[in-house]
Structure 1
């Protein structure tokens, strides 16, 4: 799994001009699944993200987790993170998981964040064309991978 983590002051996602998910402060996650990923990968990445310390403490140091600042998560499925553009001008997506497997692991990932880490998780709609709007905070952006 590959997840781009962006710290955000506020964000939302729309599908067909309808807001399907919105947060005030926390993380916007762009989540990609490859065909080799398993349930353990989804759990590992969810646990890692929940415990990342990307928020400032009273001394301005990145010492606080999303749980400690009562942040929220906007999780967006993003198979294009496994796009390979090394050859030609149009990327191939051979490394991305097929939709059925990807949706299953994406859902497990989001459920893990909610059930094990008590985080509010908002989402777009898997497989749909989505418009994501966010106000980056910092900006702080990381890539978290399972392998």
Structure 2
């Protein structure tokens, strides 16, 4: 799994002109899944994101986690995170998991993040044409790949 985590002042997801997710202070997670991702990856990544110290403490130092700030989260599926651009100029998405595998893993990740944060996590809709809007705070953008956790 690969995640792009953005600290936001606000974020929203719109599908077909209808706003389906909307948060203020928190994080926007763009999540890409490959075929060999597992429950272990889900648990590890959710824990890492929940406890990632990317919010300012009282001294203005990034030393506080989303869990501590009780901020909100939106998770959006994004298979393009696994694009290969080695050949030519048209990206290949051969490494991205197919929907029959990716959807259950995506849903399991959202459920695990809700458990870790003890709150509802908002989402986009898997496979939909989504318009994602956000105001990045900082800017702070972190990329985490579960293949690099060792």
TM-score range, shorter chain: over 0.9
How far is 1:120 from its partner?
A: 3.0
How far is 1:116 from its partner?
A: 3.0
Counterparts of residues 108-127 of structure 1 (less than 5 Å): 108-127=108-127
Q: Is the 8 A contact 2:6 2:29 kept in 1?
A: yes
How far is 1:57 from its partner?
A: 0.5
Partner of 1:81: 81
Task: Name the SS for the 1:106 alignment partner.
Answer: helix
TM-score, length of structure 1 as denominator length: 0.97
Q: Is the 8 A contact 1:73 1:119 kept in 2?
A: no
How far is 1:89 from its partner?
A: 0.9
TM-score, length of structure 2 as denominator length: 0.95
User: Which protein has the bigger helix share?
Assistant: 2
Partner of 1:16: 16
Partner of 2:41: 41
- Provide the C-alpha distance between the structure 1 equivalents of 2:40 and 2:101, rounded to a whole number of angstroms: 14
4+ residue segments displaced more than 4 Å:
none
Counterparts of residues 1-147 of structure 1 (less than 5 Å): 1-147=1-147
How far is 1:43 from its partner?
A: 1.2
Q: Is the 8 A contact 1:67 1:119 kept in 2?
A: no
Task: Name the SS for the 1:22 alignment partner.
Answer: strand
The number of aligned residues is 147
Unaligned runs of 5+ in 1: none
Task: Name the SS for the 2:68 alignment partner.
Answer: coil
